[in-house]
Structure 1
Amino acid sequence: MTEKVLITGGAGFIGRFVADELLRRGHEVRVLDSLIEQVHGDCERPAGLADEVELVRADVRNGDAVMKALKGIDSVVHLAAEVGVGQSMYAVERYTSVNDVGTAVLFEKLIEQPVRRVVTASSMSIYGEGLYRDADGQLVENAERGSTAEGRGGWDPLDARGRPLTPVATPEWKRPNLASIYALNKYVQERTTHILSQPYGIEGVCLRLFNVYGPGQALSNPYTGVLAIFASRLLNNQAPMIFEDGEQRRDFVYVGDVARAFADALEKPGLSGETFNIGSGNDRSVTEVATELGKAMGKPLLPEIVGKARIGDIRHCFCDTSKAAEQLGFRATNDFQEGLAELAEWVAEQTAEDRVEQARAELEARGLVA
């Protein structure tokens, strides 16, 4: 069954891949996007957005524009959001307005003009610290870090008796621990989707995305995904800048796999009310990732280890993929090295303004780096 799908925020990095995947499956696609300068620069239509996609340039908080964009739509992929843990800790009103109020506006209009299904992009950031296991073999959901100033007390969480905790893959049942305004925003988007979908006959599904990477990221946005930030630095012959000691572990998932997950979540029956992790199921240290990207780009610069932590950052969080595999039928299939090579090839053809030092200065000036 083919449908006409609205993708909010669909001109962005992930949205363009989702649009391509839906087009490949025979769907029609309309995109609502405000094309903010921080992400898109000065452009009327992003180069990577397929010609077949209808673009509506408007803010998701504009109710009239949203209502017009919903006309004739069968399903919605909701990606529109300000993205960035660090920036969310000082641009609080902006993030909360776009992410939470924007989602509220979308669902108010969906009440008037309901669709079959809404798939909302959430984030692994809602977990805060991932799941851990203590020395006695017990799972720990509420791990907390002590003082991380200059690494004092260690970077890794300890149990109540001061013993090391071992990070394990984080499943969907782990309770949220909202450590940043961005995490709070994404959780509100999740809950809004689930609270308002069912009463109005809409099927609501949420996908908690882990660290998405691939060609097409906004290289000049210092608050985007970490691999894009590293790529921007390397492209400008600067060493990747890594907070803490670089041993924090994450799950990096290729954007093409993520696009497939959204399309599957839109099409597969029986998913209403469900939330799924979307990741690769493999964890890597941030230093390892920066080093491998440098090699792929032909610029093997040793990362600059800052030795300080950003307020709102977490230590370890990587993906338990079992629920998505069992219920959604989704498994990431892209090889990490192949994905890095594709990213490196694309980056080589780009120009990027390196704003990482500026972003770090903004955080430090507000006391958000310790």
Structure 2
Amino acid sequence: MLRLADRTQSAFKRREEWIAGHAVSFGLPARIGRNGWRIRRSGGNWVADTILVTGGAGFIGRHVSHALLRLGHRVRVLDNLIEQVHGGRDWPEGLDPEVELLVGDVRDEAALIRALRGVDKVVHLAAEVGVGQSMYAVDRYVSANDRGTATLFQQLINRPVQRVVVASSMSIYGEGLYRDADGRLAEDVVRQPRSGMVTSWDPVDVEGRPLQPVPTPEWKRPALASVYAITKYVQERLTLTLAPAYGMEGVALRLWNVYGPGQALSNPYTGVLAIFASRLQNGQSPVIFEDGLQRRDFVHVEDVAQAFVLALAHPRAAGGVFNIASGQDRSVQEVAELLATAMGRLELVPEITGKARAGDIRHCIADIGLARNVLGYTARRDFMQGLAELAEWVARQQAEDRVQQARKELEARGLVA
């Protein structure tokens, strides 16, 4: 399926003005070709890139595609438009009309052959997303995420591109990095919150002393606590192993909790802010596991899109793994309360379950120093402003609340206790 908007002279002018104002922040030269495409220097000539975005019709993919189009690249999207995310739409809401959309699965060799024709670079976003669901839909997650990535690279072996940027996840860290009472860093943290009754949700050292969460850098060893985390790590390693073996460049971006307008509000398995927003929009309290004091880093989707642009273009990105987050952490309960305020639903106090969900971790906050120093990445979006924009967008949407259904599925399998 191909849907391209007419590129008028006025559109070119708007794009040129936007590039002039934003190229410096992306670390790229502000220059545009006659046909309106963003251009790069290659062998003395200025050319546009054709970029394939797998899973590009999804929440993050739509924003990445839009950012690339604004910089003048040609963008092709391969997406299977699964019901859980897209609700049966033929053309995903919010997908830029200038995108070339191919409806197909990344595990389908014929679809990949078609999608890779003439492509210079790949952004690999296609994946099933959800820690809780991955713990019982094992075959589905391993097939979509790992077999999908393997099939992609099987085709890239014969049709190599310049660079592949894969979306990895903070979930691969398991528990984040901690510091003990003596100032020593603790990587391999294990918590046992239940011993007949809940004694402590937080990890402690061997002497039972509390540990303090600290920003987690990329060198921390993975501690894969869910099927989803396992599949994301495999995606990452396949990319960083196979790309250089066949003359390509691989980059992995470990994304933290991404939020913003365009999230799948009716998908109860991914995006905690979207899940909270769906509950609030339907007049229900947000549901929070444990005690609500677990800490996360929330990053706006436009900052994530910026990170992908940088990872595609920056020479020093090749072979790298980068944390992409805001650099600020908040408790999940605080975030739920702030969103309720932004949506004008202060009366809907979060429901703290006091129960643990298999695959969840306590604290994981981001060290984004490497992305800042190497890529020039910085999170520009203010969290409170981002919440206000999200609330405004949600107010115009219809969202089916499926949280209780998802919770029952987990409880029926003994994954919530």
Alignment TM-score > 0.5, same fold: yes
1:53 Cα deviation (Å)? 0.1
Instruction: Provide the rounded CA distance (Å) in 2 between the counterparts of 1:153 and 1:125.
Output: 25
- Listed as ranges, the matches of 1:48-197 within 5 Å are 48-148=94-194, 152-197=198-243
Q: Which residues of structure 2 form unaligned runs of 5+?
A: 1-39, 41-47
Residue 56 (structure 2) aligns with = 10
Whole-angstrom CA distance in 2 between matches of 1:187 and 1:24: 31
Query: Once the two structures are superposed, what CA deviation does each residue of 1:298-325 show, in whole Å capped at 9, x if it has no partner?
Result: 1112100010010000000011010000
Partner of 2:287: 241
1:251 counterpart SS class: strand
CA contact (8 A) 2:266 2:402 kept: yes
Distance 2:345 2:52 in 1: 40
**Distance between the aligned counterparts of 1:125 and 1:348, measured in 2?**
30
Q: Are 2:278 and 1:232 aligned?
A: yes
What letter corresponds to residue 346 of structure 1 in structure 2? W
| TM norm structure 1 | 0.99
Once residues 238 and 222 of structure 2 are traced to their aligned partners in structure 1, the CA distance between those partners, rounded to angstroms, is 15
User: After the TM superposition, which segments of 4 or more aligned residues of structure 1 sit over 6 Å from their partners?
Assistant: none
SS in 1 for 2:117: coil
Residue 271 of structure 1 deviates from its aligned partner by 1.9
Secondary structure, in 3 states, of the residue corresponding to 2:230?
Answer: helix
Distance in 2 between residues matched to 1:296 and 1:244, nearest whole Å: 24
Contact conserved, 1:149 with 1:308, CA < 8 A, in 2?
A: no
Aligned-partner Cα distance in 2 for 1:19–1:188:
24
Q: Over the residues paired in the alignment, what is the CA RMSD in angstroms?
A: 0.8
Separation in 2, partners of 1:270, 1:279: 19
Residue of structure 1 in register with 2:395 after alignment: 348
Structure 1: distance between partners of 2:144 and 2:93:
24
The separation in 1 between residues aligned to 2:270 and 2:280, in whole angstroms, is 15
Answer whether contact 1:151 1:308 (CA < 8 A) is retained. Answer: no
Aligned partners of 1:125 and 1:314: how far apart in 2? 9
Match of 1:327 in 2: 374
Aligned-partner SS, 2:297: strand
Using CA pairs under 8 Å that are at least 6 residues apart, name the structure with larger relative contact order, 1 or 2.
1
- Contact 1:74/1:115, CA 8 A, preserved across alignment: yes
**Greater CA radius of gyration, 1 or 2?**
2
Matches of 1:270 and 1:73 in 2, distance apart? 21
8 Å contact from structure 1 (residues 240, 302) kept in 2: yes
* CA separation of 1:150 and 1:7: change in aligned 2, threshold 3 A: farther
How far the C-alpha of 1:172 sits from its partner, in A, is 0.3
Q: Does the aligned pair in 2 maintain the 1:18–1:259 contact within 8 Å?
A: yes
Query: In structure 2, what residue type is equivalent to 1:277?
Result: N
Contact 2:131 2:269 in 1 (8 A): yes
Task: Assess if the C-alpha contact under 8 Å between 2:63 and 2:301 holds in 1.
Answer: yes
Q: CA deviation at 1:150?
A: 7.9
Cα offset, 1:149, TM superposition: 6.8
Give CA-to-partner distance per residue, 1:97-122, whole Å, 9 cap, x none.
00000000000100010000000000
For 1:87, the aligned partner's letter is Q
**C-alpha deviation, 1:65, in angstroms:** 0.6
**Cα deviation, residue 148, structure 1:** 3.4
2:309 alignment partner, one of 241, 253, 263? 263
Q: Give the equivalent residue in structure 1 for 2:409.
A: 362
Give aligned-pair identity as a percent. 67
Secondary structure of 2:389's partner?
A: helix
Query: Any conservation in 2 of the 1:150–1:308 contact (CA below 8 Å)?
Result: no
| Cα shift at 1:63 | 0.9
Q: Distance in 2 between matches of 1:151 and 1:25?
A: 55
Distance 1:200 1:272 in 2: 14
